[in-house]
Structures are given as structure tokens and as C-alpha cells.
């Protein structure tokens, strides 16, 4: 039994459950494995994710990848928040492999997070690897900490955005991005 699975066994026992009953015998190991998967972003780096997939390009028009689904854990309650990321950038001589945008999103999502920080982390990472003239990121998510406990609002969602460079400075660029992700 790993340290994490021992902790899950203690947690299950602490609520009065019998860790030896049929349905729970392997739960600590399964839960530890799931938690490790859900937090694998801590073992990843931006350099490893990008893996050299930045290419020379004369394109200077907006590149948008939208509706990237993500699953994260709220750092306050360790409950899921799930949603979609929309990411855009204005290339300046370099473009990033499209799948890398989704992988960068996943790397930050697979950590204990708050949505506000995750939005900024994704934008900063795209800016760092591409040297873009601007980056825009919008995250839309539903937070289980608001749905399952506390205020229990089932249909609420949270939208966060981060605009860098031309997306912040030029309202037409920002508006084009926001129109494209609708």
C-alpha cells in the first residue's frame, strides 16, 4: 500500500466505513491512483510539453483553438471544476503545434488550482513559447464546490479571461477573438 493509499484508507475509516467490506477493499489504491492522475501536471514542465514543436511561420493572423475541455481540482476544497478553454495568439514568426495548446491547458489543469490563476498560467505559457504579439485566454467552468456544497447552485458558471499584448491593447483584436469563440 502506498502512502497515499494509506491516507485514503484512514480517510474512509474516519467517516465510519469499514475498509474491509467488499466494495471498499481496493478503493484506497484506486483513489490514490486517480489522485495521482488528476495532479500529474506537477510532474510536467512547459519544455517537456512543447517538446520543440515551435515552427517558423510567416503567418501573422490570429490562431484560435477553442472548446478545449479541461478537468481540474479546486485547491480550496479539492472538488472538481470542469469546463472549456479558448486560447488564441498572434504569431510573430513562430507558431506552436496545435495539440500543444491543449497539452499546456491540461498541464495546468492537472494541478490543484483556482480558475483565475490557471487562466493566467496558460496565457503566460503561450506567450513564453511563441513570443506572440498577443495572447488571449478565456476559461468557462462549472465548480463542484459551488454545485455540491455551499450555495449549491447547479447552473452557475465562472468565466475568466487573460489578455496579453495586442489582445489587451487593441480592442478590435480582443473583439475578434471574443466573436470567434462564441
* Residue 57: closest CA among 2, 27, 95: 95
Helix (H) or strand (E) holding 108: helix 98-109
155 is in an annotated binding site: no
Catalytic residue, chosen from 44, 92, 142, 145, is: 145
Candidate list 86, 113, 115, 121, residue with the active-site label? 115
Q: Which is catalytic among the residues 10, 25, 40, 76?
A: 76
- The residue written with cell numbers 506552436 in the block is 96
Of the residues 74, 113, 121, 127, only one is catalytic, namely: 74
Please confirm, yes or no, whether 127 is among the known catalytic residues: no
Residue 77 annotated as lining a ligand binding site: yes
Residues composing the chain: 182
Catalytic option among 121, 127, 143, 166: 143
Q: Tell the residue number behind the cell numbers 491593447, with chain if given.
A: 169
Question: Is 75 marked active-site?
Answer: yes
The Cα 79–Cα 98 span in angstroms is 29
Is 145 a known ligand-binding residue?
yes
Q: What cell does 89 get?
A: 495568439
User: Is 145 annotated in the active site?
Assistant: yes
- Distance CA(32)–CA(131), nearest Å, equals 38
Among the listed residues 29, 77, 140, 142, the single catalytic one is: 77
Instruction: Based on the residue annotation, tell me whether 77 is a catalytic residue of this protein.
Output: yes
Q: Which residues are annotated as a binding site?
A: 74, 77, 145
List the binding residues for Zn(2+). 74, 77, 145
Give the active site residues: 74-77, 115, 143, 145
Amino acid at each position: 500500500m502506498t502512502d497515499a493509499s494509506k491516507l485514503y484508507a484512514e480517510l474512509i475509516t474516519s467517516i465510519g466505513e469499514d475498509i474491509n467490506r467488499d466494495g471498499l477493499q481496493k478503493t484506497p489504491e484506486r483513489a490514490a491512483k486517480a489522485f495521482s492522475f488528476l495532479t500529474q501536471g506537477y510532474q510536467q514542465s512547459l519544455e517537456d510539453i512543447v517538446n520543440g514543436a515551435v515552427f517558423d511561420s510567416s503567418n501573422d493572423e490570429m490562431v484560435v483553438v477553442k472548446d478545449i475541455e479541461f478537468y481540474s481540482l479546486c485547491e480550496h476544497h479539492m472538488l472538481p471544476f470542469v469546463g472549456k478553454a479558448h486560447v488564441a495568439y498572434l504569431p510573430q514568426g513562430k507558431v506552436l503545434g496545435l495539440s500543444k495548446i491543449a497539452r499546456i491547458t491540461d498541464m495546468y489543469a492537472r494541478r490543484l488550482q483556482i480558475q483565475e490563476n490557471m487562466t493566467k498560467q496558460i496565457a503566460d505559457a503561450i506567450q513564453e513559447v511563441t513570443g506572440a504579439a498577443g495572447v488571449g485566454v478565456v476559461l468557462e467552468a462549472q465548480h463542484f464546490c459551488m454545485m455540491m456544497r455551499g450555495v449549491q447552485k447547479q447552473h452557475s458558471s465562472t468565466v475568466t479571461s487573460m489578455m496579453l499584448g495586442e489582445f489587451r491593447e487593441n480592442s478590435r483584436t480582443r473583439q475578434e477573438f471574443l466573436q470567434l469563440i462564441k
